Amino acid sequence: MKIKRRRARASLALIALAAASTGGCVALQEDHLALKQRVDSLEARVDKDEADLRAAAGRQADQQAIVDELRATTREVRGLVAGQAGGAVALNQEATLIEQRFVDDQIREEENGVKLASIEISLDRLRGRIEEVATGKRPQLARTEDPRTEAATSALALYSEALKLFQRREYRASREKLEEFLRRYARGAYADNAQYWIGETYYNEGDYERAALAFNEVTKRYPDGDKASFALMRLGFSFFELKNYDLARAALLRVIEQYPEEKQALIAKRKLLLIRALEDEERTKKSAQ
C-alpha cells in the first residue's frame, strides 16, 4: 500500500509540472486540484485500513491463543474420554465456544480482504485519471468504466453486503445475497467463499443436512480454494450434529490428514475426542442397563 501511495504522489508531481509548463492552463490546474483532493481522501482510507490490518494481526494472535489452548487441554480431554461424569457435555460446550470464535475470526479476515480489494480498484481508477491529466487530456465528464472494473466493484459490494447480513444473524437474507452472488459471479474470485458461507447460514439455522450439502459442494467444486479445509471441517461438524458419528469421523480425519499444519486440524482432533467421549458414555449406559 505504501508503494502505491508513493506512486500516486509521484504522478501528482508530474501533473503539477505539466500544469506549470502550459502557461497557467486553468482547466488543467483545476483537474490537478480535484485529483489531489481525491488522492488525499483515498490515502485517508488507506491509513484507516492499515490500522484495521494491524488490528487483524492482533486477532491472529488471539487465534494462536486458541491453538495453544487446544494443545494445553489435550490431557484434560483425554481424562474426560476415560469416563468422567458429564465430561462429554462440558467438552461439547467448550468446543462450541471455540468454534464460534473461529467463525467470528473468519468473518473479520474476510471483511479486511474485501476492503483491501476495494481500495485496489479505487487506486486503479485514480491512476487512469492521473495519466489522462498528465498527458494533457481533459478527463471525460461521462467516462465509460472498464467493464471488468465495474464487475469487480459490484461483486465486492454484493459479497460485503452478504457478510454484513450474516454478522447481524440475518441468515436467510445473507444466503439469498450469496446465492445471487454465485448466479452472477460463478467464476469470480470469491465464488468458493460464497458457497462456504451459504453452508454457514444453514449451520447457524440448525439445518445441518443442507449445511452438509453446501459444505460438501465446496470440497468438490473448489478443492484447492481458500475455504476447502474450513468446509471439510464444518462438513464433519454437520454430520456430528446429525449424530452420524461415522461420517463425522471420516470427514474430520480427512482434515487432519490433508491439513495437518492448520488450526482446523487441531479443532478436528478435539471434535474426534468428543465423539469418542460420547460413544464411551453411550456404551457405559447400555452396559449399566
Indicate if the pLDDT at residue 71 is higher than 80.
no
Greater pLDDT, 35 or 169: 169
pLDDT score of 153: 72
Among 86-90, 139-143, 163-167, 208-212, which stretch is predicted with the lowest mean pLDDT? 139-143
Going along the chain from its start, the domains and CATH numbers come out as: 2-288 (1.25.40.10)
Greater pLDDT, 8 or 269: 269
Burial class (CB in 10 A: 0-12, 13-18, 19+), 163: buried
Q: Across the chain, what does the average pLDDT equal?
A: 73
Helix (H) or strand (E) holding 57: helix 26-72
Q: Is 244 left (phi over 0), alpha (psi -120 to 50) or beta?
A: beta
pLDDT score of 148: 54
The residues near 52 (Cβ < 8 Å, ≥ 6 apart) are: 112, 115
Total number of residues shown for the chain: 289
CA distance 289 to 279: 16
Half-sphere exposure of residue 191, counting CA atoms within 13 Å on the CB side? 14
Greater pLDDT, 158 or 31: 158
What is the percent of the chain where pLDDT is above 90? Answer: 35
- Each residue of 91-110: pLDDT tens digit? 666 666 666 676 666 766 67
> Stretch 235-243: mean pLDDT, rounded?
96
Q: Please tell me the pTM assigned to this model.
A: 0.62
Q: How confident is the model at residue 277 (pLDDT cuts 50, 70, 90)?
A: confident
Indicate if the pLDDT at residue 287 is higher than 90.
no
Indicate if the pLDDT at residue 127 is higher than 50.
yes
CA distance 33 to 28: 9
Q: How confident is the model at residue 36 (pLDDT cuts 50, 70, 90)?
A: low
Q: How many Å separate Cα 118 from the centre of its chain?
A: 14
CA distance 274 to 228: 23
> Stretch 280-289: mean pLDDT, rounded?
82
- Each residue of 154-208: pLDDT tens digit? 888 899 899 999 999 999 999 999 999 999 999 988 999 999 999 999 999 999 9
CA distance 64 to 71: 11
Q: How confident is the model at residue 22 (pLDDT cuts 50, 70, 90)?
A: very low
3-state secondary structure 175-242: HHHHHHHHHHCCCCCCHHHHHHHHHHHHHHHCCHHHHHHHHHHHHHHCCCCCCHHHHHHHHHHHHHHC
> Stretch 11-33: mean pLDDT, rounded?
49
